[in-house]
Amino acid sequence: MNKDINIQGKTELKLLHPEEAFECFNQAGNIVGCGYCKFLTGELQESKVLLSLVKSKYSYANWLLALIGIITDKNDYYPTYFQIRNFYEQDLEMLFLYKQHQMIEKILNKNIYLENFNKEIYKYSARVLNNNNYPFQAEKFIKKSLDIWYKDPESHFILGEIYLKEKEKEKAKTALRKALEVEKEYYPAELKLKSIS
């Protein structure tokens, strides 16, 4: 029963019904879900209170507390490499869905801080920005990622996708070929090159 209610809560969140989602999570006893609803609606203090109740039990609660600290400039919690890898992009996407532009801007401006925990942060940010139709900003982040780790085929691939969104087909092909130079059998780049040739 609780599993079905939690699924319903997640569905309500994606439908931009945070109050209904909160009710579902509350009924299921899902404190992290309740805290996430408050987070997405910008009620950060309420979110922090809820998440603090379960911080010792759930890695995701600790991640959200770290993210709240980044947004509010009160870093009481520190993210881990794996938390950033596993949760950063999905939460940034949700903040775009909820039009929380000030929170997004704060997080993006703290990428230099997050780099201390996961050097791939710029790549993650670039992908989300590009997915949300901010290719020029995405390009800045992916180039920073390539400055750190030039031999990452995925970063070259993302740069190719950014150029495609900017309608720069030749630059896109060059970036995709670079991905294949770095890793000869990088299938996403092969596939994308075929589709635009």
pLDDT digits (tens, 9 = 90+) for 101-139: 999 999 999 999 999 999 999 999 999 999 999 999 999
For residue 166, the model assigns a pLDDT of: 94
For residue 101, the model assigns a pLDDT of: 98
First and final CA of the chain: distance in angstroms? 51
**Residue 59 reports pLDDT greater than 70:** yes
For residue 16, the model assigns a pLDDT of: 97
pLDDT-based confidence at 69, cuts 50/70/90? very high
**Residue 47 reports pLDDT greater than 70:** yes
What does the pLDDT average to over 133-160? 97
Give the CATH architecture of domain 120-197: Alpha Horseshoe (1.25)
For helices 153-165 and 169-182, angle between their N-to-C axes, nearest 10 degrees: 170
Query: pTM for the full model?
Result: 0.93
Residue-wise DSSP of 66-101:
HHHHHHHT---S---HHHHHHHHHHHHHHHHHTT-H
What does the pLDDT average to over 16-44? 98
**Residue 75 reports pLDDT greater than 90:** no
Enumerate the domain spans of the chain.
120-197
Average pLDDT, the chain: 96
Asked whether the beta carbons of 128 and 89 are under 8 A apart, the reply is yes
For residue 1, the model assigns a pLDDT of: 54
For residue 2, the model assigns a pLDDT of: 75
